[in-house]
Chains A and B, each alone.
Chain A
Amino acid sequence: MKQEIQCILKRYPHAGRDKLIPILQDVQEALGFISKESVVQIGEHLHLPASKIFGVATFYNQFRFEPVGRYHIQICRGTACHVKGSAAVLETIKRALKIESGQTTRDGMFSLEEVACLGACGLAPVIAVNGRFHAKITPEDIQGLLNTYRQKGESSDE
């Protein structure tokens, strides 16, 4: 992991603060999330304190600070989905998994992300699990869906 980050940083020699966002994007792309280690290394490279980097990174919704779970749930927060009740769906998922957007459940099974639009407005409200779309989802569907995935995840553990 350390080397991957060093590779990324090498692409930004003598960089200043203005390169922070592109570097964070590269790191997220490489690791899937922004790790503590990477923040320390970026900080050394750009001469920025960790708190500042974290502050900037949390300003944008695109960054996550935990590795994604086995099942990565993306929920569309676009207008169409919103009109059709995505807020209630989101609340239900958060409550069921006891996590906030951007977080991963403790067992590493699920992670949750809000995305601006999944580009499938016809299916609203829509969520995607590891890229697979689930259309016209309602709060009532959530528990069943999560159970199915959890079972699948647990059985493939053995």
Chain B
Amino acid sequence: MIKIEVNGRIIEGKDGEMLIYALRRAGIHVPTLCHLNDMFPSGACRLCVVEVDGEKNLVPSCSYPVRSGLKIWTHSERAVEARKTIVELLLANHPDDCLYCERNGSCQLQDLAENLHILRRRYIGDRNRFNEDISSPSILRDPEKCILCGKCVRVCEEIQGVSAIDFIGRGSSTTVGTAFNEGLNVSSCVNCGQCINVCPTGALRERNQINDVMAALSNPDKFVVVQHAPSISLTLGEEFGLKPGADVNGIMTAALRQLGFDRVFETSFSADLTIMEEASELVRRIQTNGPLPMFTSCSPGWVKFVEQFYPELLPNLSTCKSPQQMLGAIIKSYFATRENIPPEKIFSVSIMPCTAKKFEAGRQEMERGGIADVDAVLTTRELARVIRMRGLDMHKLKPEHADTPFGERSTAGKLFATSGGVMEAALRTAHFLITGKEMKDLEIKEVRGLDGIKEAHVTIGDLTLNVAVVSGLMNTRTILDEIRSGSRTIHFMEVMTCPGGCINGGGQPLNADIEAIKARMRAVYKIDKTEVIRTSHQNPSIQRIYAEFLGEPLGKKSHELLHTSYQKRTVLV
């Protein structure tokens, strides 16, 4: 640690680190629009400028290394004036649609204008005129609100390895767009929504399905059921001012009932179901020689990624549908029959951490006889919006229990919320299937944590399995290339599209920093540690559904309802 002087006060910094990190640790907030933590600085917005003793010009603190003896003013008149001018210039051609904007109240541009006390338009430019891209079932792009910070482009390329979007054109006509300005739906976009999470403005947002859900809720002819994904109860609270990781499961259930849902189920239940099928599939593949490695298939962004970039590895994808789709299929078959409701009367909603789940629900593989497994998908953010719209006070509601039989889960199902969780859950059950005994230590520490690539060697009976857990699709490219060239042997690989898994999904509350993601992750493992039923095969409701309806894992019924297959997809890559 070295000492630097900031605004007349001494703070500590690490030699060579970018100044902005030292400032933040010291509680000094310099605004940014293009900065992405721990990624190479792009220096595009220049909002982070500060005055440095001895430098003629203001310097961007996001890309200025700390060295001893630095003397800095972060909020000198000159620095503040420069920032104000930058924001005023950004506003010059901005639509000023705040009242009608998805990001009203959560927009960084709006915040900046407010914090810098900008009260009038000082520069008048031609207003941006571009068409919205509404082609994607997941992502809506409104280039008029884009301030060209470039964060979406970098996340899509550097974190996700997709590069669906880039800067197009130059000068004043520059936009962010796809190749040939085609719709996102025909681009290589995998619908992950990570670009939304970094976008400072309303230029990127999810395709909202609130109206569809509201219409169904007020339609007396519809029986409306809802499932919520394992991570939702751990992130929704943030939208209502609770600390990251606070578990609002019971309160959320109460809220969903008040909204008018006829049944409230947990996707964690069908995550257990996925594990039964997937672990059985893994065992079968091991016993019948492949194809190995088997890849998990519950993350729809990843599935599309394989379809378009690595089609020759499609046979390696597990044939299991995702938990969302499994529960959707079970609701409109088993549940419909049991409750004597015609499947076409059921409107099935899922609350997901993920924009790609919207795409997944609309895939043609995910319907039977013209009836979709899932009818509408809301992100965590959309659910929060609906709750606010209905004036429900999350601080006053009394917790309630989910409905049986799909409201009962093991902690293994809940683990699906985080990167490494599917792996742990699957290995627990695979161990039981192979040896007839439970694992001695259920926790596989090597696959926990936020690293993008995690590996472990797991002994089950006389088998040693090499397993890999990957999140952030860019990380998969390295491994897939090694698998293709034969230089790496893996038996089972879990992939989650979003870095850290669903807890950091593209539909989660905005502005989560690394600490928030860690807190969400800790909350998942806390549940796993404190509850009794920790493996999917021990979930009594799972045992019952096999006894009453499905027969056995990988059986005929499962094949019909719970499994699918994928095909090569041609897009502009």
Rounded to whole angstroms, the CA-CA distance of A36 and B188 in the bound complex is 14
Does A54 belong to the interface (CB within 8 Å)?
Answer: yes
Smallest CB-CB separation from A65: which chain B residue? B180
A62 to chain B, nearest CB (A): 12
CB-based contact A51/B169 at 8 Å: no
Complex interface bits, A28-65 against B, C-beta within 8 A gives 1, otherwise 0: 00000000100110010000011111110011000001
Complex interface bits, B174-200 against A, C-beta within 8 A gives 1, otherwise 0: 000111100000011000000000000
Does B572 belong to the interface (CB within 8 Å)?
Answer: yes
Contacts of A52 in B (CB 8 A): 163, 166
CB-based contact A53/B179 at 8 Å: yes
Rounded to whole angstroms, the CA-CA distance of A25 and B188 in the bound complex is 25
Rounded to whole angstroms, the CA-CA distance of A53 and B166 in the bound complex is 9
Rounded to whole angstroms, the CA-CA distance of A58 and B177 in the bound complex is 11
CB-based contact A39/B179 at 8 Å: yes
Rounded to whole angstroms, the CA-CA distance of A40 and B309 in the bound complex is 13
CB-based contact A49/B170 at 8 Å: no
B129-175 interface (Cβ within 8 A of A): 157, 162-170
CB-based contact B168/A49 at 8 Å: no
Rounded to whole angstroms, the CA-CA distance of A59 and B170 in the bound complex is 5
Contacts of B169 in A (CB 8 A): 58-59
Does B242 belong to the interface (CB within 8 Å)?
Answer: no
Rounded to whole angstroms, the CA-CA distance of A36 and B182 in the bound complex is 11
Contacts of A59 in B (CB 8 A): 169-170
Rounded to whole angstroms, the CA-CA distance of A65 and B164 in the bound complex is 18
CB-based contact B179/A54 at 8 Å: yes
CB-based contact A43/B166 at 8 Å: no
CB-based contact A51/B164 at 8 Å: yes
Contact of A58 among B164, B168, B188, B573 (CB under 8 A): B168
Contacts of B188 in A (CB 8 A): 49-51
A35 to chain B, nearest CB (A): 10
B485 to chain A, nearest CB (A): 15
Residue with the highest number of chain B CB atoms closer than 10 Å, among A43, A52, A58, A65: A58
**Interface residue SS majority, chain A:** helix
CB-based contact A51/B170 at 8 Å: no
Rounded to whole angstroms, the CA-CA distance of A51 and B181 in the bound complex is 9
Residue with the highest number of chain B CB atoms closer than 10 Å, among A49, A52, A53: A49
Contact of A55 among B162, B168, B187 (CB under 8 A): B168
Smallest CB-CB separation from B187: which chain A residue? A51
Contacts of A43 in B (CB 8 A): 573
Contacts of A39 in B (CB 8 A): 179-180, 572
Rounded to whole angstroms, the CA-CA distance of A52 and B156 in the bound complex is 12
Q: How many residues of B contact A (CB 8 A)?
A: 18
Rounded to whole angstroms, the CA-CA distance of A59 and B167 in the bound complex is 9
Rounded to whole angstroms, the CA-CA distance of A53 and B474 in the bound complex is 19
Rounded to whole angstroms, the CA-CA distance of A50 and B179 in the bound complex is 6
CB-based contact B180/A36 at 8 Å: yes
B537 to chain A, nearest CB (A): 43
Contacts of A50 in B (CB 8 A): 179-180, 188, 572-573
Rounded to whole angstroms, the CA-CA distance of A52 and B188 in the bound complex is 12
Rounded to whole angstroms, the CA-CA distance of A59 and B173 in the bound complex is 10
CB-based contact A58/B170 at 8 Å: yes
B133 to chain A, nearest CB (A): 13
Residue with the highest number of chain A CB atoms closer than 10 Å, among B164, B178, B188, B572: B572
Smallest CB-CB separation from B182: which chain A residue? A36
CB-based contact B163/A40 at 8 Å: no
A99 to chain B, nearest CB (A): 14
Q: A49-B188, A51-B163 are in contact. Are A36 and B572 (CB under 8 A)?
A: yes
Rounded to whole angstroms, the CA-CA distance of A36 and B571 in the bound complex is 11
Rounded to whole angstroms, the CA-CA distance of A65 and B573 in the bound complex is 17
Rounded to whole angstroms, the CA-CA distance of A45 and B292 in the bound complex is 29
B311 to chain A, nearest CB (A): 14
Smallest CB-CB separation from B157: which chain A residue? A49
Rounded to whole angstroms, the CA-CA distance of A58 and B176 in the bound complex is 12
Rounded to whole angstroms, the CA-CA distance of A53 and B178 in the bound complex is 10
CB-based contact B167/A55 at 8 Å: yes
Rounded to whole angstroms, the CA-CA distance of A40 and B179 in the bound complex is 10
Rounded to whole angstroms, the CA-CA distance of A45 and B178 in the bound complex is 20
Rounded to whole angstroms, the CA-CA distance of A53 and B168 in the bound complex is 10
CB-based contact A49/B180 at 8 Å: no
Smallest CB-CB separation from A39: which chain B residue? B179
A28 to chain B, nearest CB (A): 15
Contacts of A55 in B (CB 8 A): 166-168
Contacts of B180 in A (CB 8 A): 36, 39, 50, 54, 65
A23 to chain B, nearest CB (A): 16
CB-based contact B572/A40 at 8 Å: yes
Rounded to whole angstroms, the CA-CA distance of A50 and B180 in the bound complex is 9
Residue with the highest number of chain B CB atoms closer than 10 Å, among A36, A43, A52, A54: A54
A59-75 interface (Cβ within 8 A of B): 59, 65
CB-based contact B163/A54 at 8 Å: no
Contacts of B168 in A (CB 8 A): 54-55, 58
Rounded to whole angstroms, the CA-CA distance of A58 and B179 in the bound complex is 10
Contacts of A40 in B (CB 8 A): 572-573
Smallest CB-CB separation from B165: which chain A residue? A51
Rounded to whole angstroms, the CA-CA distance of A40 and B167 in the bound complex is 18
Residues of B within 8 A of A (CB): 157, 162-170, 177-180, 187-188, 572-573
Residues of A within 8 A of B (CB): 36, 39-40, 43, 49-55, 58-59, 65
Could you show 18 A-B contacts with beta carbons less than 8 Å apart?
A: A36-B180, A36-B572, A39-B179, A39-B572, A40-B573, A49-B163, A50-B179, A50-B188, A50-B572, A51-B187, A54-B166, A54-B168, A54-B178, A55-B166, A55-B167, A58-B168, A58-B170, A65-B180
List 10 extra interface pairs beyond A39-B179, A59-B170, CB under 8 A. Answer: A39-B180, A39-B572, A40-B572, A40-B573, A43-B573, A49-B162, A49-B179, A50-B179, A51-B187, A53-B179
Closest 5 CB pairs of A and B: A49-B163, A50-B179, A55-B166, A51-B166, A54-B179
